[in-house]
Structures are given as structure tokens and as C-alpha cells.
Structure 1
């Protein structure tokens, strides 16, 4: 692995990465060559202790770790000394101060900006508004992701606020009301990129641009009807009705505003909607483009782990996607520790770990068929250690192959190869570390 270690990695990411690099060094050097490997530096026990020490450290901002925040008697340090304990009394988990920070950030910038566009529209303001929302969309979506998986982020005393801010902010960020919850929690995690997942990648040749465009286009054009029909097929009429109503009400709201004030609505609601839906599919494509051709129903082999900066620092550890699929209720800060604790299972499951690449770049490099670039980002584990760059590239290429309907029947439905049984085989799916 030749990729450099990014200086802005979160501390838990850095601990796990150095632990994996130690494994690689230990596997590729003889006893006489091993130096640091004979010490306890970055071994499993010391790495786990280091992660435990960081476990209860609150996150206040995505850009800075707690150790980087102002200290002493400065004005900013004084504000933080008041704000952090106050915010910890509001958020459900004391380490999640950052969520309240972001809610205040969006309510204090996106909402006034959108309102002013309706009051006095200018093209310059409209363009800068869209750029601002674009910079927010990743962090907001993954904050919303934590919200929908855990039925809120704040303590029960603040439930009224916890269930209000999403309805204010979702349309401004490009989400229709509640659609992310119905699609992601009630659908995607149930099907887990399998044949019945409407956002599944398995029926597409994942390194072909034409297939990628069909994948994104289908979602944008038809998800409004396909998701309710999916719930009807699964004998869940209540969910079908809720998903349909929430989507239609959102569209009618946008249509009504566009009829009265088209230009503000175009920049405040319509453009963010299209950008968000494209972004969601590009991201999901990168998360599930590399699918094992032998055991595609396994969560270890149908998703990936990224030890990177954008996905983890700014999007609440979204890079630990395999860990999230193994246990969707796992707290976002527990993913690195859960990975290290289950390193043997990841190794036996032939999971894929990457460094220094995010999902957008993953999608781009796959579409470019630049497998050597991707191989250079692989952090090899298990049998992958010792493979040449070309061998890694060839291995990754096999994981973008389209599955025929016959292969889908064989690998997902026949015998023990059902998704449900594959999840039972993945012991970590129900673990709560």
C-alpha cells in the first residue's frame, strides 16, 4: 500500500490504519527484519485501549477535534466552556454535541438565506445559496441518517424540537419529507443491496458509464412510484401509503411555491432536490459497486470500508459502511472500535478496506476502469496481503461484474444462499459493541 496517510484523519481512523499497517509489516517481514512489530505499538490490545480512551470524547465540530479547540482564557474558549456542557444536556448521547451544532448552523444560515430569496430574489444570492447548500448536503444527510436510524438525536425533553427541525430543513437540503427514512431504513437495510433492493447495483455492469446513468436515471425518474409498489409487494400497505403520501405532498408543496415564486423555488427547492438525488445515488453506487461474485449476499462482501477524510470526518463515519450494515443501530463513533474487535471476521469474510479515497472518487475511478488507482488505495487484509498491485486490480475488476438473473437466483435464493441466512452467518449483524 503506497497511499500516504492523510494528516486530517480522525484519531480513531489513524489508530485502526496503523494497526492494519502493522499487520501488513508483520506478514511481509521475516523475524530478523521485524522491528516495531515486536513492541506493543499498534498491536490489537494497545490499539483497542487507544480507541477506548477516545470513546467518550465529545465531538463539537466536524472540522476540528476536541484537542484542537481553543483553550485557556480566550473569549472563544470561554464560549465553548459554556456551550459544550449545555449542549450535552440536550443531545441524547453526550458525545454528539456536533449534531446540535449543525442543527443551529443550518437553521441560522439556510433558513434565513432561503427566506430572503423569496423576499428579494437576486441571481448572485441564488447561486451562492445553492453552493452553500451543496457544501452542507453531505454532513446534513449523514446527520439525518443518524436521526432516522435512532428515532432522534436529542433527549426526550426536546422531542418536539427533535421531530421538527427535519421537516424544516429536509426540503432546503434536497430531501422530500420522510422519503429518506422510508427508502433507507425500511427498504435499503432490509434488502441490503440484494435483488429486491431498488437501489441495488447487482444488475448493472458497475464500471460502465451507460449502466451508471441508467442506475441514477431510474432512481430520479421512478422512485416515487417504485418504492410504494415495493411495499405493496412485501404486503406492507401502511408503509406504501405513507411513502406515497409524503412524496406526493412534497412535490405538491414545491409545485405550489413554483407557481407563486418560480425563481426562488428553483434555487431553494428544485435544484437541491436534483443535486441531492444524484448525490445519493453516486454515493450508494460507490458503497456497493464492489460486490463479491462468490458470496454477494454477505455484508462483508457487498459493501466496503473507507478510512478517509470526507466520509468520516465530515459525514460522521459514513466510510465505515460495512460496519453500519452489520449493525445499523451502532453509534457512529463506535465503528472503528467495532471493526478492530471484529478484524478476524473482516479478514475471513474477505472484506475490502480502502484508504485515502471517498465514495465519490470511488465511483469515478470505477467508471474510469482505473483499477490500478483503486488497488493503490487498498489496505490489504488477510489473503490480500502480499498480492501485487496488478493482482489487487484484477481482483477488484471481478467485483464490478453484472449478475445475470440466473446467477441472482443461484447466489441469493437457492439453498443457503439467501440474504437472511447470509446475515445470520455474519455474526456481527446483531452485535452491539
Structure 2
């Protein structure tokens, strides 16, 4: 019943995350093993965010009921509703592709930047402009499709009930094993926009996104192959490597950034010591100032 059999990897992440949290809840002792397992827990919050992204573009299952159950499962794991991707990501980011109408474009906040402070601030800045967009969309849905809006609001209710139950059981463990990992996942979900688009050209038909290669892609469902994803948003994630080869030579060489972690190290850390390592914007000055 899976749309693509490779989504066993997605299901494995979605099952492993709560099982790992439950194990650490039951075994809270300080040990090297538990420290490693907690690191794995944090990694799985990244994977869940990518799975959420993929599920919003192309549903995992062929059946409606299984897809709805997956919506609620991801909602509970992430601590925020899955429906927010439709107005904030599909209806905004993919529609305007980091252009002047994209409300969370990176060059909207403090100029066209690509540095450590900008990366750290972007999730907060993006949330402040995306949530009003989400609530306006939800109000429109309430007027036009009341049943659909009730379905979406039930996702908020599910999160609230789970949080209250876990906090009642043990609020220390809830903060450490549930809320903090969820915030970690949310940070990466929003900060990825900065990694993939800061100092790209939001006015260009080809140079609006940055691509990453290396281990990030097999581990996180080819999330680094961003130009191909924008060009083919409903392509399954397993198709992106082949599509990436079609576009790789068409984008500015600076936007094929290699592996993710070395890119972050040289862009956000080395550039503080050696300014010549700093990122350079591809957007023309006049266009930066116009937004």
C-alpha cells in the first residue's frame, strides 16, 4: 500500500523515534550509550521533518485513511500540525521560489545575508511571518470548507493533549525527551530554508536554490538536491538524484555546494576568521534593495 516501496525508510524513522524516546524515558541513567541514543533521537527529529516535507508533496500511502493516520502520527512526533506545510511551503515557497513574494525569503530579514547569525535567527524570523499566513489560510478554509478546517484543528488538539499527558507523567522527562527534540527538529525544518537559499538569486529561473551532495542525501531522503525538487515538487524523493544530474550543470557552480557539514563549517565558522571564505550573493544589488 506504500506509493513507493523505498518509503520503508520513512516508516522506519517514524517508528524508531517514539520507541527511542520511550526507551530513554524508561532508562534515564547517565551513560555513554544513552548519550549516543539521545544524539540519534535528535537526528531522527531531522528525518521526521524531511518525511513531513515529502509527505506534504507526495502522500506516502495510496489509501486516504492511512495518509490521514500518518498526518496525525507526524503531528504528534513533531509537536506541530502537518497541515501547515500546505499554506507555508507548497502555497508560498514553492509558488514563489524564494522570489520577492515569498514571505520567508532569506533576504527579507536584515538584508541579503549568509552568515552564522543569519542562520540562527532565520527560524524565528520565518516563524513570525509564516504563522500569520497560516492562520489567514486556516480562516479561509473555515469559511469555505468547515470540515477540512476542523480536521486541521484536531491536529493542534492532539498535540496539546499529548503534551499535557506527558508533562503530567514527568515534566522533566517531557522537556528533555519530547519538547527539546521537537524544537530541535523545528529549528532544522525552518533553518533549512536559509541553508538552501541564502545568497541565491530569487529572481533567477535557475539560480534560486543551493544543492548539497554527500551523506546528507541517503540519510535524509535526498533533501540536499533542491533545484531538482523545486523543478519537480511531486517527484518521489528517490527520483531526485537522476533529476539533479539534469540541472546540475545549469545552475551557478557556487550553488553546487558539496557536502552539507563542510559547507556550514566554511560559511559560518571559517568566514569569521578568514573573510575571503565568506559567501557571496548571486543577486544583483538593485534587486536586493528592491525587496
TM-score with structure 1 setting the length: 0.53
Aligned: 1:281 with 2:281: no
Aligned to 2:234: 329
Which of 82, 103, 108 is the equivalent residue of 1:178?
82
| Residues 234-285 of structure 1 deviation map (CA, whole Å, 9 limit, x = unaligned) | x666699579836743553355235413123213321122101211233221
Aligned to 2:118: 211
Q: Distance in 2 between matches of 1:357 and 1:285?
A: 16
Aligned: 1:354 with 2:256: yes
Question: Structure 1 287/316 Cα, relative in aligned 2: closer, same or farther at 3 Å?
Answer: same
Aligned length: 281
Q: Distance in 1 between matches of 2:193 and 2:56?
A: 17
Unpaired runs of 5+ residues, structure 2, are none
Question: Structure 1 212/104 Cα, relative in aligned 2: closer, same or farther at 3 Å?
Answer: closer
Q: Distance in 2 between matches of 1:341 and 1:255?
A: 45
| Residues 144-189 of structure 1 deviation map (CA, whole Å, 9 limit, x = unaligned) | 3222211x22343xx53343234224433x3412145333223321
Task: Note the C-alpha offset of 1:190.
Answer: 2.0
Aligned: 1:306 with 2:212: yes
* Deviating 4+ runs (over 4 angstroms): 115-118, 125-129, 235-244, 400-406
SS in 2 for 1:202: helix
Q: Distance in 2 between matches of 1:255 and 1:321?
A: 34
Q: Distance in 2 between matches of 1:161 and 1:232?
A: 23
Question: Structure 1 250/401 Cα, relative in aligned 2: closer, same or farther at 3 Å?
Answer: farther
Aligned to 1:160: 65
Aligned: 1:112 with 2:19: yes
Aligned to 2:99: 194
Task: Note the C-alpha offset of 1:400.
Answer: 7.6
Aligned to 1:418: none
Highest Rg: 1 or 2? 1
Aligned: 1:366 with 2:270: no
Q: Distance in 2 between matches of 1:403 and 1:250?
A: 47
Where in structure 2 are the equivalents of 1:240-319 lying within 5 Å?
A: 245=153, 248-249=156-157, 252-253=160-161, 255-257=163-165, 259-261=167-169, 262-292=171-201, 296-310=202-216, 312-319=217-224
Question: Structure 1 111/249 Cα, relative in aligned 2: closer, same or farther at 3 Å?
Answer: same
Question: Structure 1 190/124 Cα, relative in aligned 2: closer, same or farther at 3 Å?
Answer: farther
Aligned to 2:132: 226
Question: Structure 1 267/399 Cα, relative in aligned 2: closer, same or farther at 3 Å?
Answer: same
Task: Note the C-alpha offset of 1:351.
Answer: 6.1
Aligned: 1:92 with 2:3: yes
Aligned to 1:18: none
Question: Structure 1 403/278 Cα, relative in aligned 2: closer, same or farther at 3 Å?
Answer: farther
More helix by share: 2
Aligned to 1:45: none
Contact 1:92 1:154 in 2 (8 A): yes
Task: Note the C-alpha offset of 1:286.
Answer: 0.9
Over aligned residues, Cα RMSD in angstroms? 3.9
Q: Distance in 1 between matches of 2:284 and 2:141?
A: 32
Contact 1:193 1:288 in 2 (8 A): yes
Aligned to 2:39: 131
Contact 2:50 2:223 in 1 (8 A): yes
Task: Note the C-alpha offset of 1:193.
Answer: 1.7
